[in-house]
Structure 1
Amino acid sequence: MSNPQTIPMFRRGYRLQWEEVQNCHVILYPEGMAKLNDSATAILELVDGKRTLADIIQTLNDRFPEAGGVDDDVQDFFAQAREQKWIILRDPA
């Protein structure tokens, strides 16, 4: 996932949601759900089908300057989210 202009999008049938019973955000999908930690939630809340990978990374770097740069962590997360089939990556037009 080296192209910073790639646009992450939730796969059809997948969505981010606050789950009161679980007391956390989850990814809901037809086969079930996955609980998310705060870092995953912060990243996935920015997935809107319009923001590029570069936009998401910049937003998170601005929001969490004490982290010292989240670029690699965010790219690693999206690679895992793609493997889990939560998201697809759309190449820029």
Structure 2
Amino acid sequence: MDAGSRPRLVPKAMLKRDKVRDADLLLLPERVVKLNTSGAAILRLCDGSRTVQELVERLEEEFGATGLTDDVLTFLRDAQDQGWVVAG
């Protein structure tokens, strides 16, 4: 996974907003992962149409931050290791 990769959720994964618990969840077979705000924001953008660099630019705009590339790449690499996303 690098800045030019186009990450997407694996086919078996689905993002869901649990309004009762006020939490974002990643639903996988036999597993549910409660996501923090930034993790949910990153995964929501992982549809295979954007590069990691494009994700970073959008997140920096959304959160009014700069220098997020390393953090986003670390998260996506971990997500890939967990089997949540694949790089295109």
Mark yes or no: TM-score above 0.5. yes
For residues 12 and 46 of structure 1, the distance between their equivalents in structure 2, rounded to whole angstroms, comes to: 15
1:86 to 68, 84, 87: 84
Distance apart, 1:22 and its partner CA: 3.2
Letter of the 1:9 counterpart:
R
Tell me whether 1:75 sits opposite 2:85 in the alignment: no
Tell me, what secondary structure is at the counterpart of 1:61? helix
Give the root-mean-square deviation of aligned CA atoms: 1.3
Distance apart, 1:68 and its partner CA: 3.0
Identity of aligned residues (%): 34
The match for 2:29 is 30
Tell me, what secondary structure is at the counterpart of 2:25? strand
The match for 2:60 is 61
- State the TM-score, normalizing by the size of structure 2: 0.89
The match for 2:16 is 17
For residues 56 and 68 of structure 1, the distance between their equivalents in structure 2, rounded to whole angstroms, comes to: 12
Letter of the 1:87 counterpart:
V
Distance apart, 1:74 and its partner CA: 0.3
For residues 7 and 30 of structure 2, the distance between their equivalents in structure 1, rounded to whole angstroms, comes to: 21
Which consecutive residues of structure 2, in runs of 5 or more, have no partner in the other structure?
Answer: none
Tell me, what secondary structure is at the counterpart of 2:61? helix
Q: For this pair of structures, how many residues does the alignment match?
A: 88
For residues 8 and 30 of structure 2, the distance between their equivalents in structure 1, rounded to whole angstroms, comes to: 19
Distance apart, 1:32 and its partner CA: 1.7
- State the TM-score, normalizing by the size of structure 1: 0.85
